[in-house]
Every structure is written in C-alpha cells, then in structure tokens.
Structure 1
C-alpha cells in the first residue's frame, strides 16, 4: 500500500489525523469519497456558514461546504466541492485546500478492504494556528461520525 500524501513532512505538521474502517467489499478511493459525501452530516451546513462568516473577516476564501453531489470522473486540477484534486488513483484520492494561512491535505485511501482518511495541516501564521484550535477536534469528530455512518450503511439493514 502506498503511504498517504501529507501537507508537509511530519515534523512540520501542526495537525495529523488518520482514521480507518474495514470495508465489507472492495471499493475505490473515489467510491468511498462519494459514499461518505452523499449525505452530509446534520449541522455541517450551519458549521460551514459560521466558518465562512468568521474566516472571511480575515481574508480567507469562503468554502461553502459539501454539496452531496457524487463525482463521476474527476481529474487532477478539478474541484470536489472546495477541495482541489491533487492525485486520483484507484486506491488513493488526495485533496487539498491551500491559502496564506495553512495548507490542508486530505488523503482517502482504500487498500485490502480498508478505508483510511488521513488529514494533515501545515500552518503558515498565527491565524492558521488559531483557526486550528476549534477545527482540529471538530475534524476528528466529523471524520469519526462520517466513517461510522458509512460502516453502518455498508453493513445493510
């Protein structure tokens, strides 16, 4: 299995989180992403609106959140919602958001019927550090809930 892409070498990361679940059947990284994103968690739209309202005051681009729309045949350089596709292979999907405050990389990998989401953040300034104070624990919780929901959906009724 290929190692997940990271925003920077591990020693330079302010945030690094990985979570995995077993899959009942093989699935590509894009299929897993589409399944995870098909029904955004309750409250996510409000969370993104709040994030955008606060962050915009500091010159951070609005991201709007997740659309719930499946990606059919995305290519490197295109967008999946607010993420830029940096790498797309059957077992790996690397998505990024980069600005003057921080670099975020989310890497979705599927290998041997195991799904792993690895997120990493390199900060560039004080605002980036402050931004990550609430985002880091929220991110861990969101990924855990999304993966738990996917696991239940794949297990069936």
Structure 2
C-alpha cells in the first residue's frame, strides 16, 4: 500500500532556511517506487501527470484571481517535455515556476508576485533510499496574499497528496 505522510520540512533541505517568517508551510513524504531520480526529475514526472481535476481548478483559479489583480500562472503541467534534465539551470522556467535552487538532492521552484512568494521543494533523502519530500513555503506580503491563502491552503492539502499518489502509482 502506497503511503504519503504529512511531515515537518526536512531540516537538511535548502528550503528549511525559508521557514522563518513563513505564513504557510507544509511537507509530504513518500517512498518512491520509481527508483533513484534527481529531485528535479521527480518534479517533472509529477507535473506531467497532474490530475485533470487539478488542471480544472488551476484554470478556474486563473479566471477568478485576474479580477483581483493576481496573474494567470498557467497550469502545473505546462512543462517543456523536450528539454533534457541536464539542460536546466537556476533561473530557468519550469512550467509555472522558476528554478531557484538546483542540486541532485533538491530542486526549489518559486513563483512570486506583489501579494506572495510560493516556494516548492522536491527533496530526495540520500540517507533513506527512495524517500522524497515535497515541501511548500509561502510568504505573504499583504492582505490579498492572506485572502488568497485562505482559499488555497485547504485545497493545497488535498491537491498535493492526490498528485503524489497519481504520479507515483502511474506506469512509466
């Protein structure tokens, strides 16, 4: 049986340094049955298998938030499938995010606007084979960021485990 656990942000991860002053943070860990992959490959594999209902929610989000001055960020699965993992470097776009930090064991992606900064970390635990953590850290800058998180945080808690389960249980 595939298990996903809500855990603390790994203390040895680079994203752990972003926790100070965070408005929201969470982390989910699971043992991958997909073998050893570099952290960015885990993200690319997961983003390419985004559930249809999540894509629908993202499209709805993009329409609604434009009324309030937030940007249309696209969809999680909007990645360049032809780009090789070795071609990515810090500063590159990876779908809706920008690559902020990159090592074999961790990839940190960021999306920022005037209301909030969202960082996502894919961290592969080298001391425990196949253990992966996906962490999210959000810093809000104003009331609109807080209002946005009021609606997004409960959905985030459903989306992340569902997306992990789909990506890790699919054949490929």
Q: TM-score, normalising length from structure 1?
A: 0.88
Q: Is the 8 A contact 1:7 1:122 kept in 2?
A: no
2:34 is aligned with 1:50 = no
2:84 is aligned with 1:92 = no
Distance 1:16 1:152, change over 3 A: same
2:21 is aligned with 1:21 = no
CA shift, 1:69, in A, is: 4.3
Runs of 4+, deviation exceeding 3 Å? 6-10, 68-71
CA shift, 1:74, in A, is: 1.4
Q: What secondary structure sits across from 1:97 in the alignment? A: strand
Flag structure 2 segments of 5+ consecutive residues without an equivalent: 1-10
Which residue of 95, 98, 102 corresponds with 1:81? 95
Which residue of 49, 65, 68 corresponds with 2:75? 65
Distance 1:62 1:77, change over 3 A: same
Q: Is the 8 A contact 2:110 2:120 kept in 1?
A: yes
What do residues 10-51 of structure 1 show as CA deviations (whole Å, max 9, x unaligned)?
3x1111010010123211101211211122212222212211
Greater displacement, 64-73 / 12-21: 64-73
Tell me the distance in 2 between the aligned counterparts of 1:99 and 1:53: 17
Higher RCO structure, 1 or 2 (CA under 8 Å, sep 6+): 1
Q: Is the 8 A contact 1:87 1:93 kept in 2?
A: yes
2:154 is aligned with 1:133 = no
RMSD: 2.0
**1:34 — aligned with what?**
44
- Residues paired across the two proteins, number: 154
CA shift, 1:65, in A, is: 0.8
